[in-house]
Structure 1
Amino acid sequence: MTYSFIISREDWSLHRKGEVDQHRHREKVREAIKKNLADIVSEESIILSDGQRVVKVPIRSLEQYRFRYDFRKQKHTGQGDGKSKVGDILGSDPGQQAPGKGPGAGEDPGHDYYEADVTIDEIEQIVFEDLSLPNLEEKKNKKLASESVEFRDVRKIGIQSNVDRKRTILEVLKRNALKGKPGIHGITPEDLRYKTWEVVPKFESSAVVLAMMDTSGSMGPFEKYIARSFFFWMVRFLRTKYQNVEIVFLAHHTEAKEVSEEEFFTKGESGGTRCSSVYQLALDLINARYPKDDYNIYAFHFSDGDNLTSDNEKCIQLIDQLLSKCSLVGYGEIEGPYYYTSTLNSFFKKLNHSRFLSVTIRDKSGVYPALKAFFKKPDQEGG
């Protein structure tokens, strides 16, 4: 008996394999990005660029699942008249190491890796998905808008990832019932239904973020790079997730001043350090422009902690005043590679306030944990 098969060019099952592979590839890319987030976030080529760069992320090659025997072993199963006996335990060596690891030159084959090009936008989606402005409170002035996605319609045309399976099956059942052949079979492109969405602005209480950075002579290239890395991602996070959020840039040595965004990220300073100057300026700006009843206020300060000893008590007093007005006050201290015992952070340990948070960064990989600490989602509190 001869069988003939006719495959329609419109048979959507033909696209299934490619779709599965694409999905696996996307998941591998996301997995690689997540494993390397701490290094990617502090990547110098990103921080010092205009934010439009493409980053290369190493990813394990995608292999098809299959059985593979280790032919160096003497015992196997399913190979005919081999040396295996009933009751033999077949398993991997407990001390097995990854290929290329261990003493001496290895003889095991390595894993294939390739570099995937990933845009900053793709990295942002993963970095920002767990971040939010903490302690947002209801205020009179509602100008801060964040985007929310709502599925509001079903159409016959759309992208494969938005297929509405339930409605598609209902269309198949209905069409087959009208033909007198009830059941789920013979799905055609005409049966497909796709969910469509609209981006809906969600208005929340207004917010202002005060970015404060130490630019004194004790802040070397490493310390300034770490501070700018944190603020680079903070600014992109706020502008990506929230509309109309205000960001005020303050730089200080012994004196503090409000600067433009460009000056904040590019201009260097020198001289001594008096951190109280920037806290006082922040309070003056809040009192003049950002009433507590209208704004959720956030203040983040990064320094190497090398402050004038005589200024520390005043810093404590001013931080207390900021805490009475701010939803959160964050202090990041950068420990340089060559020294030292901090003067400022030891004083801040006296503060015991739920809206004050301090972090210490010792190397570039500490930037991402600092972002997660300061911008923790409400459902992550205490986690």
Structure 2
Amino acid sequence: MTYFIDRRPNAKHKSAVNRQRFLERYRKHIKRSVEEAVNRRSITDMERGEKISIPTKDISEPVFQHGPGGARNIVSPGNKEFLEGDKIRRPSGQGGGGGAGEGGASNQGEGNDEFAFTLSREEFLEFVFDGLELPHLQRKPLKSLEEIKMVRAGLARDGVPSRISITRSMREAYARRIAMRAPIKRALKEAQEALAAEERKDPVLRNPARVGELKAEIERLEKRIDAIPFIDTYDLRYHQLAAQPQPSSQAVMFCVMDVSGSMTQNHKDIAKRFFLLLYLFLEKHYEKVELVFVRHHTAAREVNEEEFFYSRETGGTIVSSALNLVNKIIEKRYPSGQWNLYVAQASDGDNWDDDSNICRDLLVKQLMPQLQYYAYVEITPHDHQSLWHEYEAVAAQFPERFAMRQIVDAGDIYPVFRELFKRRMSQER
């Protein structure tokens, strides 16, 4: 008979298969909890998972138990009510201890009304993007802006003391001392051997003048060896710096949104999902991503995320105020030579009629020459207005860096996002 013995050590996450089965089985409940968590979270708060709770009654499963089997005779002491063959009435289920999963009230112990567990960051994002055909993102910048960085470029004999290479300088000094001492040491060794041979001769045959010359030569050679400097200016080596272009690894994302009376909270929730996707998209490409929130009605202001999404104001809409503010922020804090600039704008399409032309001129003449990408989403089921038509002229002039789409409901967010960036990524490949 052949025996198979599995001697592999138990690795981490050995229950991963069972966990995936559990997540798949209760996907509906988990997805509902994840959607609620997304609405509570900040856009940048994606470095952790989420604690999810599921009602216990929704995960209850039948349990099979083995009975004792066979015929048994049991004597219950103190039994005054029942005889053999009597049927015991089933408990009504109210009161008494309340086990796990029971919904009845109890004055003993603790109830277990829900089952809680934690999703990892990857699992959390999987449920955020569930049912959405998010394209495969290339792990490289959409556009590498070159900035100059001083890097080491070998060694040189001249330089400033702050850039001296001690290790290389000592190595050069050691090599120089070896090279300069070698012939002197050979001559010293020969003189010492000749002196020893002369002193071994018979005193009658020994030449005192020769002995004196050899001793003088030995003393001169030893002084020459001692005179060799430990380190010389010839030995010094300095690190050499050269200007090398480096791809910029930092990006800033401007979130621009209309907060006038026509933008409902549902519109803002849809915009938040779109901004979240764009932030995650940029986070895959850049080491550092900063967010700037600009809200506008008739006037534009830079605000924090809480005020950006959950504050509502009344009044008209002037989009050019937001574009002007974005341009001023770029000039003041984010020079295009050092930052990769992205703008995402969400609106319901309303704008002052005379302002749409101004928006087009601002984009064409000032913003688009500096930006890597501009994405405009119009959240409305109605026909397009003047702002959309003016933006179409901008898209025709900058087809590679300006994109615009319409979103009717939340189900359109991910397909629209895919369309906005599909052409860009296909060209990079």
**Whole-angstrom CA distance in 2 between matches of 1:125 and 1:42:** 10
Q: Which of the numbers 372, 383, 389 marks the counterpart of 1:327?
A: 372
Q: Which moved more, 1:276-285 or 1:342-351?
A: 342-351
Does the Cα contact within 8 Å between 2:254 and 2:344 map onto a contact in 1? yes
Q: Give secondary structure in 1 for the equivalent of 2:378.
A: strand
Query: In the TM superposition, what whole-angstrom CA distance separates every residue of 1:212-244 from its partner, at most 9, and x where no partner exists?
Result: 111111112221221122223434554576432
Q: How many residue pairs are counted as aligned between the two chains?
A: 256
Shift of residue 204, structure 1, vs aligned partner:
4.3
**Whole-angstrom CA distance in 2 between matches of 1:241 and 1:30:** 30
TM-score by length of 1: 0.55
Q: Which of the numbers 133, 137, 147 marks the counterpart of 2:144?
A: 137
TM-score by length of 2: 0.49
Shift of residue 12, structure 1, vs aligned partner:
2.9
> What is the match of residue 46 of structure 1?
38
> What is the match of residue 275 of structure 1?
319
What amino acid does structure 1 have at the position aligned with 2:322?
Answer: V
Q: Give secondary structure in 2 for the equivalent of 1:271.
A: coil
Shift of residue 120, structure 1, vs aligned partner:
5.2
Q: Which of the numbers 408, 413, 423 marks the counterpart of 1:367?
A: 413
Q: Which moved more, 1:125-134 or 1:251-260?
A: 125-134
> What is the match of residue 336 of structure 2?
292
Q: Give secondary structure in 2 for the equivalent of 1:349.
A: helix
After TM superposition, list the pairs within 5 Å mapping 1:1-383 onto structure 2.
3=1, 11-12=7-8, 22-23=16-17, 26=20, 43-49=35-41, 53-54=50-51, 118-119=119-120, 121-124=122-125, 127=129, 130-131=136-137, 135-140=142-147, 204-235=248-279, 238=282, 242-320=286-364, 321-336=366-381, 339-351=382-394, 352=396, 353=398, 354-376=400-422, 379-381=425-427
Instruction: Structure 1: state its 5+ residue gaps.
Output: 58-115, 143-201
Shift of residue 47, structure 1, vs aligned partner:
1.9
Does the Cα contact within 8 Å between 1:297 and 1:327 map onto a contact in 2? yes
Query: In the TM superposition, what whole-angstrom CA distance separates every residue of 1:311-349 from its partner, at most 9, and x where no partner exists?
Result: 11111111112111101111110014xx44433112212
Q: Give secondary structure in 1 for the equivalent of 2:336.
A: coil
Q: Give secondary structure in 1 for the equivalent of 2:330.
A: helix
Shift of residue 381, structure 1, vs aligned partner:
4.1
Q: Which has the higher contact order (CA 8 A, sep 6+)?
A: 1
**Whole-angstrom CA distance in 2 between matches of 1:294 and 1:382:** 22
**Whole-angstrom CA distance in 2 between matches of 1:319 and 1:30:** 46
Name the CA shift for 1:25/1:238 in 2 (closer, same or farther; >3 Å): same
What amino acid does structure 1 have at the position aligned with 2:270?
Answer: I
Query: In the TM superposition, what whole-angstrom CA distance separates every residue of 1:13-41 from its partner, at most 9, and x where no partner exists?
Result: 9x79x96x8458649968998x9xxx889
**Whole-angstrom CA distance in 1 between matches of 2:256 and 2:341:** 13
Percent identity over the alignment?
Answer: 29
Shift of residue 136, structure 1, vs aligned partner:
2.0
Q: Give secondary structure in 2 for the equivalent of 1:292.
A: coil
Q: Give secondary structure in 2 for the equivalent of 1:46.
A: helix
Does the Cα contact within 8 Å between 2:318 and 2:355 map onto a contact in 1? yes
> What is the match of residue 65 of structure 1?
none
Name the CA shift for 1:382/1:240 in 2 (closer, same or farther; >3 Å): closer
CA RMSD of aligned residues (A): 4.3
Shift of residue 11, structure 1, vs aligned partner:
2.5
What amino acid does structure 2 have at the position aligned with 1:264?
Answer: F
